[in-house]
Amino acid sequence: MTLTQLEIFSQVAQLRGFTRAALRLGISQSAVSHAIKALEQELGVSLFERHASGLALTPIGEQLLQRARAMLGLAATMGQEAADSRGMKQGTLRIGSFGPSASIRLLPAMLQAFRQQAPGIEVHIDEGPDRDVLQWLLERRIDVGFVVLPQTSFHTFPLLEDQMVALLPAGHALCAEPAVSLKALCEDPFILSQAGSAELVESLFQSAGVRPNIRYRSGQLLSTLETVARGDALSVVAELSLPEAGAGPARYQTRPLAPKVRRKIGLAVLDPAQASPATLAFITLAQSLCAER
């Protein structure tokens, strides 16, 4: 088997289709089909099966995909280490990012500084909820990911802290309070923003022994802000995820939770010993920039 076959296998599995993988890789669909067929013949197993809903991995395909991604990750690390030894900066850095906190407030400045430091590194960014970033790390789809700390399954690097706040419509009775309890947020309809730390918010209510009246679930923070601003629901969000002050009309207000809830954000990798030089350089840069905030 070759690394090219493993890369094609990985892309077909990720995109759930031969045609989409061919477009992503810039090769013909027949080349993708040939590579998968040759890999299956060499391994003596079927990697994919077709259903009415589309292409899916077989059980052994799921298992071998983890091995393939690990091998591709190590090969990429070797290539970048060799390039660095020649005084070059080449390769790819794959970053997982969640919510506006990372994607809007943190990542742009980091990418700008990293581009100046390593202009030859191609950066790929996958965005999704925090739970997706954790899964991408396990699957080795990304080299490094923004996470909410603590995370016991990964090696982590702390970046900064912010706090969780109650998000209220302007003029709501709770706006008169200096801080808001989780119990008080259970009396109105609630919108759960799944763009960032949804699991953290749910665990906060569970730990407090109360249950919010979840009427809405939103995959985008902008939808959450608009729903709250209209007075349709309350929410709990991370302070760092909100637009900067003055970015829009004060149609909603925030109040600290009582008691206060701090949120720690960091970067995570599976194994720093196997991380590429580009990955380690990005982590060092990110920590340095966050220390200056």
pLDDT of residue 92: 84
- The answer as to whether 235 is a domain residue is yes
Q: CATH code at 193? A: 3.40.190.10
- With respect to residue 249, please indicate whether it lies within any of the assigned structural domains: yes
Confidence (pLDDT) at 249: 55
Residue 71 domain-assigned?
Answer: yes
DSSP helix/strand/coil, 236: strand
Tokens representing 35 are 């590579």
The last residue of a domain, from among 25, 51, 75: 75
Beta bridge partner(s), residue 236? 166
Q: Is residue 66 part of a domain?
A: yes
pLDDT of residue 219: 84
For residue 9, being part of any structural domain is answered with: yes
Residue 91 has pLDDT above 70, yes or no: yes
* Residue 246, pLDDT score: 56
**Per-residue model confidence as pLDDT tens digits over 20-70:** 888 888 888 999 999 999 999 999 999 999 887 778 999 999 999 988 988
Beta-sheet pairing, 144-149 with 262-269: antiparallel
Is the pLDDT score of 263 beyond 90?
Answer: yes
On the question of pLDDT at 88 being above 60, the answer is: no
Instruction: Show the tokens assigned to 41.
Output: 């013949």
Last residue of a domain, one of 23, 48, 75: 75
In this prediction, residue 60 carries a pLDDT of 94
Res 274 pLDDT > 90: no
282 Cα distance to chain centroid: 16
Give the span between the Cα atoms of 292 and 241, in whole angstroms: 19
Please say which residue of 33, 49, 75 terminates a domain: 75
Peptide bond before 119: cis, by omega within 30 degrees of 0?
Answer: no
The CATH number of residue 63's host domain is 1.10.10.10
Q: Is the pLDDT of residue 75 over 90?
A: no
Q: Are 132 and 176 in contact (CB under 8 A)?
A: no
Is residue 87 scored above 70 in pLDDT? no
Return the pLDDT at 276.
85
The per-residue pLDDT for 14 is 86
The verdict on residue 291 lying in a domain is no
Which pLDDT belongs to residue 51? 82
Note whether 215 and 173 are within 8 A (CB). no
Domain count, the chain: 2
Q: How high is the mean pLDDT of the chain?
A: 89
Query: What is the per-residue pLDDT for 81?
Result: 74
CB burial of 268-289 (b: ≥16 within 10 Å; e: otherwise) equals: bbbeeeebbbbbebbbebbeeb
| Residue 270 within any structural domain of the chain | no
With contact defined as beta carbons under 8 Å apart, do 5 and 75 qualify?
no
| Global confidence as pTM | 0.75
Give tens-digit pLDDT for 161-205.
999 999 999 999 999 999 999 999 999 999 998 876 788 899 999
pLDDT of residue 292: 82
More confident residue, 222 or 146: 146
**Nearest Cα to 120, choosing from 271, 4, 281?**
281
Domain of residue 240, residue span: 160-262
pLDDT, position 282: 95
Confidence band, pLDDT 50/70/90 cuts, at residue 86:
low
Mean pLDDT within 13-23:
89
State what percent of residues in the chain have pLDDT above 90: 56
Tens digits of per-residue pLDDT, 196-252?
A: 678 889 999 999 999 999 999 998 888 999 999 999 999 999 999 888 765 555 789
In a domain, 30, yes or no: yes
Q: What is the pLDDT of residue 139?
A: 80
Provide the pLDDT confidence category of residue 131 given band limits of 50, 70 and 90. confident
SS3 9: helix
